[in-house]
Amino acid sequence: MKGFVPMSFGKKHQQKQPAQEVHSANQRKGRGGSGLAPASAESKGGVSFGPRFTDSATAAGARLRADKAEAKPAPSKADEEDADVKKPLAEPEEPEGPPDALPEPGKESEVLPVSHEVTIPVLAGKAVTAICLDPKGSRMVTGGLDGNLKFFDFNGMSEEKQCFRELEPVENHMVQAVSFSITGAQVLAVCSDSSARIYDREGTAKPIQSTVKGDMYVRCLEHTKGHTQTLTDGMWHPFQQEEFLTSSLDGTIRIWNMNADPVGMDQQLPQIHVLKTLDKRNVCIGGGSGKAGGLYPTCCTYSPTDAKKIVGGCSDGSVQLFFEKARYSKPDKILRTAHTAPITGVAFVPDGGHSNLLVTRSMDNTMKIWDTRMLSDAKGPLKVFENLAASHEKTGLCVSPDGRFIVTGTTLTKGALGSSTVRVFDAKTFSSVKTLDFGKRNALRFAWPTEINQLLVGTGNGDVVMLYSPFSSKKGAMHFVGRKAKAKADPQEELGSGPIFNMTDKNDIQKFYSTGHGDMKKIRRGEVRAAQKTLIPMRPEESGTKMPDSDFGNFAALALKMGAKRLHLNNTRQGSDSQEALLNYQDKINSGKAADSLMGPAYAGNANILDWDVELGEGDQRMNEKMQGEFCGKCGMKMCRCTNYTKWGEGSKKPRTS
């Protein structure tokens, strides 16, 4: 009977999906067991087991089935032929590997976060060429070949995985690199033009500041204030929030400071240091504009632990290292034969407070590890990883925050056989730890933030793949996986039923034609304005002349009323002329019959109220004394030969008669 009686009434709230079921949908394919108890385990009053027990049971069952298959006798050829005839044609299934070993209690943070994945669509068929996260791991900024920056907020995202801001720094220029400052308040955007731009974390369309473009006709590159050709890479200083680094086709790496004095009409930033990359002739001429024999830095980075080393990977396969100093000039160490093709990525491996290991990735299908303490072509690298296909110039690499793992990807040309992979290597033993199949998605850019412990991969088809583990990862993808998007209200319900017009009323006819032009919002605003309760201002008393409906009219009416009261006028608006009444009252004042007046008492003690005499100063008085006498009315002189005394001097001299 209880099954037919509802236990609660009203609208039921949607129950939250268990976290294990949410993450099981994002588990990578080809991984054996799902790590979850089957649905039947939660049957009526049944016992449900944890994921650790079910995984062990799954592994034991797999071993038992394998033992039975080995003990089974081999079928005869006739049986095989009959089976081939009866068996339908089907595509071969991908082999399922054994599930990852579950972490021991207390060691969940040591698990490699690659067991689950979630895909964020960023671009439509175009490669993601730049990716970065803020220090807290709450926001992500991506850039691609379309030249747009997209800002994502993991805390506010849902399963729709949409960005909250999108902007284009410069038209028709791809994004080369993006980097957050150490505080996470500013974003460095490096595009394929000659100026880098600084934006705030909210993605405001107008940049906070930009770098100045140098004079391309100045041959000595340290004498110009900025890059003269296309930028290739950039990075914010790992410890100082004012400094950042950029590299360019002009053959230089430049250091900038946000506190530097702006220059030019646009008040842009000039560089504070110029680092020159040298070719085989020890000359810096850059590699742009078709310069023969020139080279340029394709990528650059700081050492993460102390920022005392700056390395640049160049287009000829060389690696050039600069140590921190007060004034930079030439590189301190150069590896001329590091690679045989342009370098696509460089990174340091942190080891406590030092960063002595350097990892380089190149388009010669290799990745090499070097020791910066004995960096030379004669000693060579510590380890060479070969057969890592790199067909894209943005094929990068990254190092885990604790320095234990090195991650890179393989990229294939269009139409090539095989699939792209993400390779994880141990930074201590240089052995392969994990290989992840990405199919036809070329793995280009990588990021492994410390705060969230998740591996982000920017692919060649425009997606960002977030690899994580429910055991060792936090924040990031854990915020929006399983979070349903808010249901959008039906636009028809928001508008409600359409308005009803009376086609015999001219006002309704006018409203009807206004709706056809898309002015429905204007009509709604007018209706609300007409229906609201307004405060009608106080009007003056009725009269023959209309007073203005304003505060000035109210004040004027009050002034007239008080004036009439002071003048002992009963009413100036009931049939009598106000001017005539005032003139009559003036006659009373002149005759002295008025006991009270408005102006009389104020000026009673001042008899010379209309005296316009002006007291002259001493200088004016002396001038007037000098001007007294006879002057010629023609030339203005006292003694003249004009003998024209028609106006002046009529009393002393006689005018000429002949």
Lowest mean pLDDT among 87-96, 205-214, 366-375, 603-612: 87-96
Closest CA to 376 of 318, 303, 298: 318
CA–centroid distance for 418 within its chain? 37
**Tens digits of residue pLDDT in 489-529:** 665 555 555 667 788 888 888 777 777 666 667 777 777 77
pLDDT at 428: 92
Contact 444, 395 (CB under 8 A): yes
pLDDT at 495: 53
3-state secondary structure of 509: helix
64 inside domain? no
Lowest mean pLDDT among 111-125, 311-325, 609-623, 629-643: 629-643
Confidence of residue 49 (pLDDT cuts 50, 70, 90): very low
3-state secondary structure of 286: coil
- For the segment 15-40, the average pLDDT, to the nearest whole number, is 54
116 inside domain? no
Rounded Cα distance, 244 and 208, in Å: 14
pTM over 0.85: no
Given a cut of 60, is residue 7 above it in pLDDT?
no
Neighbours of 423 (CB within 10 A): 19
3-state secondary structure of 156: helix
pLDDT at 85: 42
Q: Which of 174-178, 600-604, 609-613 is the most confident on average?
A: 174-178
pLDDT at 432: 93
- Single-letter residue type at 264: G
131 token code pair = 């990716």
Q: Which of 60-64, 119-123, 525-529, 574-578 is the most confident on average?
A: 119-123
Given a cut of 90, is residue 559 above it in pLDDT?
no
Question: Strand 443-447 and strand 455-459: pairing?
Answer: antiparallel
Given a cut of 60, is residue 15 above it in pLDDT?
no
Rounded Cα distance, 225 and 272, in Å: 8
pLDDT at 449: 93
462 inside domain? no
pLDDT at 222: 85
pLDDT at 513: 74
pLDDT at 230: 93
87 inside domain? no
- For the segment 7-13, the average pLDDT, to the nearest whole number, is 52
497 inside domain? no
Find the angle CA(588)-CA(594)-CA(597) to the nearest 5 degrees.
105
pLDDT at 44: 39
Residues ≥6 apart with Cβ < 8 Å to 155: 138, 479
- For the segment 35-44, the average pLDDT, to the nearest whole number, is 38
CA–centroid distance for 394 within its chain? 23
pLDDT at 501: 76
Closest CA to 287 of 315, 313, 312, 310: 315
Rounded Cα distance, 24 and 209, in Å: 45
* Three-state SS annotation for 289-344: CCCCCCCCEEEEEECCCCCCEEEEEECCCCEEEEECCCCCCCCCEEECCCCCCCEE
pLDDT at 655: 53
Rounded Cα distance, 551 and 537, in Å: 8
Rounded Cα distance, 427 and 405, in Å: 5
Query: 203 vs 30, which has greater pLDDT?
Result: 203
Task: Residue 332: give its domain's CATH number.
Answer: 2.130.10.10
Query: 282 vs 486, which has greater pLDDT?
Result: 282
Confidence of residue 46 (pLDDT cuts 50, 70, 90): very low
Query: 29 vs 218, which has greater pLDDT?
Result: 218
Q: Which of 10-14, 51-55, 200-204, 603-607 is the most confident on average?
A: 200-204
446 inside domain? no
Contact 33, 58 (CB under 8 A): yes
Contact 297, 312 (CB under 8 A): yes
- For the segment 251-264, the average pLDDT, to the nearest whole number, is 94
212 inside domain? yes
Contact 192, 231 (CB under 8 A): yes
pLDDT at 352: 84
595 inside domain? no
Closest CA to 247 of 217, 286, 294: 286
3-state secondary structure of 84: helix
Query: 38 vs 544, which has greater pLDDT?
Result: 544
Q: Compute the half-sphere exposure of residue 317: CA atoms within 13 Å on the CB side of its CA.
A: 14
| Inter-CA distances, 427 with 238, 334, 422, Å | 21, 23, 16
Eight-class DSSP state of 275: E
264 — alpha (psi -120 to 50), left (phi > 0) or beta? Answer: left
| Residue 357, beta-bridge partner list | 349, 371
3-state secondary structure of 512: helix
Lowest mean pLDDT among 13-27, 82-96, 371-385, 515-529: 82-96
Contact 135, 186 (CB under 8 A): no
How many residues are present in the chain?
658
Domain that holds residue 263: 128-394
**Tens digits of residue pLDDT in 301-322:** 999 999 999 999 999 999 999 9
Query: Hey, what's the torsion of the CAs at 399, 403, 404, 405, to 10 degrees?
Result: 10
Neighbours of 118 (CB within 10 A): 20
Confidence of residue 340 (pLDDT cuts 50, 70, 90): very high
Rounded Cα distance, 130 and 233, in Å: 10
Average pLDDT, the chain: 78
Rounded Cα distance, 51 and 54, in Å: 5
Q: Is the dihedral of CA 626, 628, 634, 639 positive or negative?
A: negative
Given a cut of 50, is residue 93 above it in pLDDT?
no
Rounded Cα distance, 272 and 211, in Å: 11
Rounded Cα distance, 56 and 99, in Å: 10
Give the count of domains, the chain.
1
Query: 539 vs 473, which has greater pLDDT?
Result: 473
- As a whole number of Å, the end-to-end CA separation of the chain is 149
Find the angle CA(312)-CA(463)-CA(414) to the nearest 5 degrees.
75
Neighbours of 36 (CB within 10 A): 17
Residues ≥6 apart with Cβ < 8 Å to 373: 356
385 token code pair = 């990883």
User: 17 — phi, psi (to 5°)?
Assistant: -70, 135
**Tens digits of residue pLDDT in 441-492:** 999 999 999 999 999 999 999 999 999 988 888 888 888 888 887 776 665 5
Which residue shows structure tokens 């980097």? 179
Q: Where are the alpha helices (DSSP H) in 450-547?
A: 477-480, 491-495, 506-516, 520-531
**Tens digits of residue pLDDT in 173-192:** 999 999 999 999 999 999 99
pLDDT more than 70, % of the chain: 65
pLDDT at 626: 73
Lowest mean pLDDT among 158-167, 426-435, 586-595: 586-595
Confidence of residue 86 (pLDDT cuts 50, 70, 90): very low
Q: Which of 27-36, 288-297, 502-511 is the most confident on average?
A: 502-511
- Single-letter residue type at 242: E
533 token code pair = 């309760």
pLDDT at 92: 40
Helix (H) / strand (E) element for 387: namely: none
